[in-house]
Amino acid sequence: MSTRILSLITAIVMLALLPQLMGCQMSRASSRSFASMASIWSLSASFKSSFGRDRANLDEEYARDLAAVSATFVDSPVREAALVRDVTRVAEVHGISDWESADATWLGIGVGLRQAGMSEPQAVALVAQVFGDAGATRTAAALEAQ
């Protein structure tokens, strides 16, 4: 009898310990549970406000973020559509959909390409190839302003 109880307790403990091995959070983006939804809504309410913060700081965060991503463009086999979508993805994280209009976009891309070892003319040429001449002009202007 006591062996049976011990086995039962061991089985329960083993079962309970199994999750110890299971790491990695599951994405809660589409969770329908109230707790998950409530936590994400409450988290969103605490997101840093754009207001009351220096506009230049927000632009700087965006440009730095884009520079980090753009630095990896150099080794990419140039696929225009893919690189454009990469910029879109980063810009949307910062609340920007029309990123062509933002000066910080061209500065971020230019700085990123320079960080990756490109010369200014090389960086501007790559921008022209992927994003068009208008983008290249603005990138050149942003880099020259440094």
Partner 1 sequence: MGRSALLAALALLVTSAAGGTGEAPVDVVHVTANSGLAAGGHVALRIDEHAYHWEVHEHGFLVLAREEWRTFALRYGTLENRSMRLVRLDLLPDQRTRLEGALLWFWRAQQRDLAQLEALSTERRWHRHLEGADPPTLAGRGFFDRGLAADALVDPAAALGEAGELSPSERNRLTDLAAALERSIVQLVHSPRLDRGRPLLLALARHQAVMHSLSQGRFLLLDAISDQRVVLDPEASALHRDRVSEMAARMARGWRRERQALGSAPLDEPTYNQLEEIATGVHEMTAALEHGNPLRARPLGRLIPNRPGSVDPMPGARPLEGRADDAAAREAHFRAELAGRYGYDLFRNNCATEIEAVLAEVTGLDAGALAFIPAGLARDVAASDLARGTVDLPSHRRRQVAELAHRQGRLRVALRESNTWTSTVYQPSIADDAFFFFADGTPWTRPLLGTANLVYGLGQATVGLATAPFDRGRRAWSGLRGAFYSAPEMVGFSIRKGRYDLLPEPIARHSGVQVSQPQ
Of 30-89, binders to partner 1 (CB under 8 A) are 30-52, 55-56, 58-61, 63-64, 67-69, 71-72, 75-76, 80-82, 84-86, 88-89
Find the binding residues for partner 1 in span 79-138 (CB under 8 A): 80-82, 84-86, 88-89, 92-98, 100-104, 107-108, 111, 115, 131-132
Separation of alpha carbons 34 and 119, rounded Å: 52
Compute how many residues bind partner 1; rule: CB under 8 A. Answer: 86
Six token digits for residue 109 = 């891309």
Q: Which long-range contacts (CB under 8 A, 24 or more apart) does 5-14 make?
A: none
DSSP secondary structure string, 36-68? Answer: HHHHHHHHHHTSPPSTTS-HHHHHHHHHHHHHH
Is 2 near partner 1 (CB under 8 A)? no
Closest CB 115 distance from partner 1, rounded Å: 6
Question: Do 110 and 135 touch, CB atoms closer than 8 A?
Answer: no
* Residue of 94, 96, 91, 82 lying closest to 109 (CA atoms): 91
Is 20 near partner 1 (CB under 8 A)? yes
Is 15 near partner 1 (CB under 8 A)? yes
Task: Compare residues 65 and 122 and give the one whose CB is closer to partner 1.
Answer: 65
Task: Compare residues 3 and 97 and give the one whose CB is closer to partner 1.
Answer: 97
